[in-house]
Structure 1
Amino acid sequence: MTDVGIGLTGLATLIALIAARVPIGVALIGVSFGGLWILVGPRVAWGALSLVPYKFTSSWILSSVPMFLFLGFISYHTQLTRGMFNAARIWLSSLPGGLAIASIFGSAGFAAVSGSSIACSAAMGRIAIPEMMKHKYHPELATGTVAVAGTIGAMIPPSIILILYGVIAQVSVSKLFLGGIVAGLMTAFGYTMVVLIRVWLNPSLAPERDPSVGFAEKIAALKETWPILLIMVGIFGGLFGGIFTPTEAGAVGAFLACLVAIFTREMTWGRFSQAIRETLVTTSALLLIAVGASLLTRFLALSGAGDFLSGSILSLTSNPVLLLVGIVCVYLLIGMFLEPIGAMLLTLPIVLPIVDSSGWSLLWFGVVLTKLLEIGMITAPIGMNVFVIKSVVGNLVSTSAIFRGVAWFIVMDLILVAILCAFPQLVLWLPTLVG
């Protein structure tokens, strides 16, 4: 068998292992190690297994991943985000479906301190869904809105996906963050349009509007948002003001979150230790997958399978539009079955050369890729955000009802992807302006 054949066989084995529910990190490392053993012998395979993980994880910018995760878990467990939702609820109460819209913008606020789609869905699910159910919102609208609003967590910085993409693609994380802000805000406003249209078409989905909230009450509600606003200003003010780097921003944000939680008397030893424990578990899982993907890149490069696949895809068409449509469809498909970070790290060794050869901006592609991966978080059959919301509501709402609730938003997501692909400057103008 040729070297390329060994590489392609390894990829087929990897897909089979993932389909058999072998943890993706274990499958990546196992297939890559075995493939290197067959290609170049046991000595090189063991050498790669000892050197590649260290080389990848020793990247300084990766230290921001556990810090941003810890920031999100601290904010979640100490309920620092509750005021953000309450303020959005009061200010948007006069709009049709005001509580649902409030959950969208509350999620956008929480996204600015979490970087995690799942954490965003879990936090808003516990805060917003009981409030909507109490006000007689239709269960599909209530749960579907919160499930999709959580996807904003991976787009608005700090985003774990964007950090990992920046490390692998060698793209400035700060510029990726700036591009993610625009795409994240577009997503929030797009979801708001979906809620408004649905309630306009079917007023029974949400109760009557409440225009009775006074200006004084609105101002008082804004005061409740100071914990998150303080953390956001501390992170982004220092980051884009050049005071510290994206790597240091995570540590600064986590430190500020702890100080604010202590000041508000929400910090307990139990919450603190739980946040640390969840940070360690999540970071370990992410790095295991990332190390496996790094080994896979080495295996594909040595076998020539990566270049073969990239070249084969490029040879299918010279039309960049068709090529981009094909890449979008592939990510929409694999997003239905794999979690976002695993899907990204598994495919980047093949896709990045295609993007580079096509002359597309790697910065723009990173933001579009993040958007595509987040659609997978609400798409059947896996739809991790949907199952997070299901765990929050228990037997009150069926899983199929939640999936029906997110279907409308998936249509808007596809429209937004088309807009971002048709007009790359929407993503690039802010990084270009600042950088």
Structure 2
Amino acid sequence: MTDPQIGAMAIGVLFLLIALRVPIAVALTGVPFFGIWYLINFKAAVGALKVIPYSFAANWLLSSVPMFLLMGYLAYHTGITRGLFNAARIWLARLPGGLAIASVMGASGFAAVTGSSVACAAAMGRIAVPEMLKNRYDAGLATGTVAAAGTIGALIPPSILFIIYGIIAVVPIGDLFLGGAIAGLLTALSYVAVILIRAKLTPGLVPTLDETYTARQRMAVLLEISPILLLALLVFGGLFGGFFTATEAGAVGAAICAVIAFFKGGLTWRAIKASVSETITTTAAIFVIAIGANLLGRFVAISQADVWISDLVGLFASNFVLLMGMIVLLYLVLGMFLDPLGAMLLTMPILLPVMRDQGLDLLWFGVILAKLLEIGMITPPVGLNVFVLKSVVGDAVPIGTIFRGVAYFLLADLMIVILLIAFPEIVLYLPRVFDQ
């Protein structure tokens, strides 16, 4: 058996272990360790286990991960983002399905501060779903909207997926943020279109609300959320303007978030403890999985399985549509069973060499990848955001109803993926403008 065949077989074993519910960090670390041991010797495998974790974790850019996580968890636990839904509701009250559209806009604003899809779905589920159900919105539309809107956090900065992808693929994180912001905006607009079309075509799906608000009320609610708008402006304006590095932007964001929470009275010891604790545990989980992915990348290179896989994919490379169709299908399947970070880190060591060999833009591919991983958060049978929302609403809405509600948004997601693949400039235009 040749080395590339051994490498390919090991990748198959890796997917089998994950299918058997072996923790992804254990599988990602164990398979390449034993693979290197078999191909070279035990000493080389131990050496890789000694060197690779440090060489990866010592990357300065990775310090942006806990900084942005801390900013997000502080915003979540201190409650400074709660006014976003109310602001969107007041400004969008006249539209059909105004509360559902407000949920999408509120989730987009929440994502721009926290970068967490799960936290976004949980927070908006507590705020928006009870309000929609109280106003006689269809349960599937109400819960489906919030579950889908939560996924926008994977695209709108500060996305942790983009930070990890940028470091591993050697793509500027700021450019990924810019490209992802456009994809996130398109996603939000497509969700709004779904709500408007469904409200128009299905009478009774949403009630007709007679809520009216004065100009003074509209300005008052904008004033209420102005600290959050200022936070986003300072952090991302500084990052895209070249004043901050990604790490500095995260640190500045966390500091400003703490100051805002202090003056709003939300910076309690309990909130600080929860924010720091969740930042540490989430960072540790991300790093352990990422280190395993780096070990897998080293093993794939040693076995030359990447060359074999690239040659295999090369049989389809002449047909761009077929190649991208295979990649989309791969991530849709993986998204049904794996969390987004795990699916990304599992496949990057295999697919990145293929993308480079085919001459595809890695910035564009990173945004496509994040969008596909986002779709996986609402696809059955796992659908992480769906289950998070179910835990929030309890017995009020059956989980089957939530999955039926997100089905319409899944169709919109697939249309956005097709659009981004067909017109790469949608993703690449803004980063190029800022790089000039």
Using the size of structure 2 for normalisation, the TM-score is 0.98
For residue 317 of structure 1, report the CA deviation from its aligned partner. 4.5
2:78 aligns to what? 78
Mapping of 1:24-423 within 5 angstroms?
24-210=24-210, 212-423=212-423
Contact 2:4 2:303 in 1 (8 A): yes
Cα deviation code 1:184-240 (max 9, x no counterpart)? 100000000001111111131211033522222111111111221121012012112
**Identity rate of aligned residues, in percent?**
56
Moved more, 235-244 or 189-198: 235-244
For residue 145 of structure 1, report the CA deviation from its aligned partner. 0.3
Aligned residues: 435
Q: Unaligned 5+ residue runs, structure 2?
A: none
C-alpha distance in 2, partners of 1:226/1:345?
37
Residue 309 of structure 2 aligns to which amino acid in structure 1? Answer: L
Moved more, 7-16 or 396-405: 7-16
Cα deviation code 1:116-136 (max 9, x no counterpart)? 111111111111111111211
C-alpha distance in 1, partners of 2:178/2:210?
36
Q: Secondary structure at 2:382's aligned position in 1?
A: coil
C-alpha distance in 2, partners of 1:22/1:360?
33
- Taking only aligned residues, the RMSD between alpha carbons, in angstroms, comes to 1.0
Q: Secondary structure at 1:205's aligned position in 2?
A: coil
C-alpha distance in 1, partners of 2:317/2:103?
43
Contact 2:339 2:384 in 1 (8 A): yes
C-alpha distance in 2, partners of 1:203/1:230?
40
Q: Secondary structure at 1:151's aligned position in 2?
A: helix
Contact 1:121 1:385 in 2 (8 A): yes
C-alpha distance in 2, partners of 1:311/1:51?
30
1:424 paired with 2:424, answer: yes
Residue 347 of structure 2 aligns to which amino acid in structure 1? Answer: T
Residue 120 of structure 2 aligns to which amino acid in structure 1? Answer: C
For residue 5 of structure 1, report the CA deviation from its aligned partner. 2.4
C-alpha distance in 2, partners of 1:317/1:266?
54
Q: Unaligned 5+ residue runs, structure 1?
A: none
Using the size of structure 1 for normalisation, the TM-score is 0.98
Cα deviation code 1:270-324 (max 9, x no counterpart)? 1110111111111111111100000000011101112211211112341122211
